[in-house]
Amino acid sequence: GQYVALTYFGRNGAWARKQLPMGATRIVSGKLERYGDTLQIVHPDHVAEPGHGHAPAAIEPVYPLSEGLTNGRLGQLVVQAVERLPELPEWIEPSLLEQRKWLGWREALSAVHCKDSAEVRDRLAYDELFANQLAMRLVRAAMDKRRGTPVQGDGRLTGQLRMPFDLTGAQKRVIGEIEGDLIQGRPMLRLLQGDVGSGKTMVALHALLRAVEAGFQGALLAPTEILARQHFANLQASLSGLPVNVAILTGRDKGRVRESVLMGLADGSIDILVGTHAIFQEAVTYKALALAVIDEQHRFGVSQRLMLSKKGSGVPHLLVMTATPIPRTLALAAYGEMDVSQIDEMPPGRTPVDTRVLSQGRLPELIDGVARHLASGKQAYWVCPLVEESEVSDLAAAEQRAAELKLRFGDQVAVIHGRMKGPEKDAVMEAFSSGKTRLLVATTVIEVGVDVPNASLMIIEAADRFGLAQLHQLRGRVGRGTEQSVCILVRGESVSETARARLALMRETNDGFRIAEEDLKLRGAGELLGTRQSGETPFRVATNEQVRELIGAASADARLLLERDGGLDSPRGSAARIALYLFERDAGVATLRGG
């Protein structure tokens, strides 16, 4: 055998002498480490007398802790909680349970605290995915029972719509899918996925005009003030000369302007309202709202989607647009109640962005390149790194970089970050859009939707710290005009294998759907959807791998319960209700039922 030193520091020495009397035998467990040539355990976790009490377990669970709480104490509390677990009726379809050879819920929850087993973890992840899919199907079933407004346009407005280029085949296909929904008596629930620049807004405008042609109103909602104002300007330009009244309402509009818009919505004189998501939480009354288009889905969750059912006379048709291509498995997990349309073809005349990778050491020559770019009359973005677990904030990194660039480029440089107030951000963006400033130093607030065609260079500093989808979104800010745009990914000196693979893929492809699939393999689902920023991660138990492997079975199981096994009123259904409560998926269902 080999000697192991037990090491105690400070006041713990007296306690150790009590625990380890001279000449006695004890069973000791803790983290074994090498110190020089000897093995040691510093502050053993457990010291037990043979035959007295519980011997230390071979595997000890590790829990996330807050200050003042030890792993041992939390472990004791978990043991007490597990002993009180009730035996619950089974909600998983019996043949699936048999095929997977899974334990029952109570046994699995007990086992997950004392053994490292893939089967046990899969069983509990499946429960969460099943609750998720069942809730989505219940939402859909409840919406299908609601009275929608059939919308049958006559083409008098869509026929006059002036477009910069012909619709692509993909756009025509998606418009057909949307029009097929609009003429139904039940509300549309459709997710429109399209890569940056694929022409989603033109498809949305087509649908909004159909509603106006049929004598109804439409609303287009964006996540931020800047984007709402940009949509408003684009719609006004596209509808110039057409008899369509478009208005804008954001949290900043006050007084008479606000009153006038609210009156126009109530009396029906406003045909299309552009606004921010926030206006849905207020007392805005429409005369006849038939269609709501939501831009940027991941900031507009299920609960907000449900609020739409309280607006207008019937339930409006709902079209949700996202510029983040979402892998099929994740789309099922996050938007399972929705039909999905994909614009998978780019309009003609758009040149793919040329993407290059440079190391941080080549920053001086990169800045010389920026000087040449600005001298030719063009504009550029400089995105500062995400700063993780550091004294320095993202804001400080941006301000420091802006200060350094101002030494070279003076007043041509502006800075924008997430902590700025709305009006301040708008003023900075306005100055950049109009060309007053030429180099915009930013944190990731420019990620979504900002459109400045003259900006054809994007520099992303410390690109290895960003997720693939986020890099793709940022790259989508350039390439908005007809000429060649360039995206420079600046990497740190030492880069992990995962980051290297990410940057190589960015160089290789501009296809957002392929990037999204790869991103799901390389990173967390929450980061893919941008939910780390918005605080709405889809799952607490299931990992990405488990989502990929189990979501299909969970979706099929939820459908079987509702369509074959008697729904929520059957014995399996009453067990499934418990699963909905356990995984906090009951709130959306209750909202839909008005309870």
The pLDDT of residue 595? 40
**pLDDT band at residue 465, thresholds of 50, 70 and 90?**
confident
pLDDT at 407 over 50: yes
| Beta strands in 428-541, from DSSP E residues, in sequence order | 439-442, 455-460, 486-491
Q: For residue 529, what pLDDT is reported?
A: 41
What's the rounded Cα separation, in Å, for the pair 45 and 64?
17
**Residue with token string 């439409």:** 218
For residue 68, CA distances in Å to 44, 79, 81, 346 come to 19, 19, 20, 56
pLDDT of residue 531: 36
Q: What's the pTM?
A: 0.69
- Give me the residue spans of the domains in the chain: 4-56, 94-144+541-590, 147-343, 354-509
The answer to whether residue 306 scores a pLDDT higher than 70 is no
**Coil, strand, or helix at residue 491?**
strand
Architecture of domain 147-343: 3-Layer(aba) Sandwich (3.40)
DSSP 66: -
Predicted confidence at residue 47, as pLDDT, reads: 80
Structural contact between residues 312 and 286, judged by C-beta atoms closer than 8 angstroms? yes
- The band of 176, judged by pLDDT with boundaries at 50, 70 and 90, is very high
Q: Cα–Cα distance between 135 and 142 in angstroms, integer?
A: 11
Is residue 488 over pLDDT 50?
Answer: yes
Question: How far out from the chain centre does Cα 308 lie?
Answer: 20
H helices, E strands: number in the chain: 22, 18
Per-residue pLDDT reduced to its tens digit, 196-244: 778 888 999 999 999 999 999 999 998 878 788 888 988 998 998 899 9
- 57-61, 93-97, 505-509: range with lowest mean pLDDT: 57-61
Please compute the mean of the pLDDT values over residues 2-19 and round it to a whole number: 77
What is the pLDDT at residue 394? 67
Which residue did the predictor score with more confidence, 174 or 500? 174
Q: How confident is residue 584, by pLDDT bands cut at 50, 70 and 90?
A: confident
pLDDT per residue as tens digits for the range 408-454: 999 999 998 877 777 888 888 889 988 999 999 988 666 455 678 88
Assess whether pLDDT exceeds 50 at residue 592.
no
Percent above pLDDT 90 for the chain = 34
DSSP one-letter string for 261-287: HHHHHHHT---EEEEEGGGGGS----S
In order, the DSSP letters of 189-207 are EEEEEE-TTS-HHHHHHHH
What mean pLDDT is reported for the chain?
Answer: 83
Indicate whether 524 pLDDT > 60. Answer: no
* Mean pLDDT of the 359-366 span: 92
Q: Look-up: residue for tokens 């007490």?
A: 80
Tell me, yes or no, if the two domains 147-343 and 354-509 fold the same way.
yes
Work out the burial of residue 14: count CB atoms within 10 Å of its CB; fewer than 13 is exposed, 13-18 middle, 19 or more buried: exposed
More reliable by pLDDT, 21 or 550:
550
pLDDT of the residue at 525: 44
Residues 158 and 290 sit within 8 Å (Cβ to Cβ): no
pLDDT category at 301 given cuts 50, 70, 90 is low
Average pLDDT over residues 336-356: 82
pLDDT at 157: 92
Which pLDDT score, from 0 to 100, does residue 363 have? 92
**CA 335/CA 332 separation, integer angstroms:** 6
Q: Calculate the dihedral angle through the C-alpha atoms of 220, 222, 226, 232, rounding to the nearest 10 degrees.
A: -10
| pLDDT computed for residue 591 by the predictor | 46
Instruction: State yes or no: pLDDT of 102 exceeds 60.
Output: yes
pLDDT band for position 303 (50/70/90)?
low
Percent of the chain residues topping a pLDDT of 70: 86
Q: Which two tokens stand for residue 184?
A: 């139904």
Superfamily of domain 354-509: P-loop containing nucleotide triphosphate hydrolases (3.40.50.300)
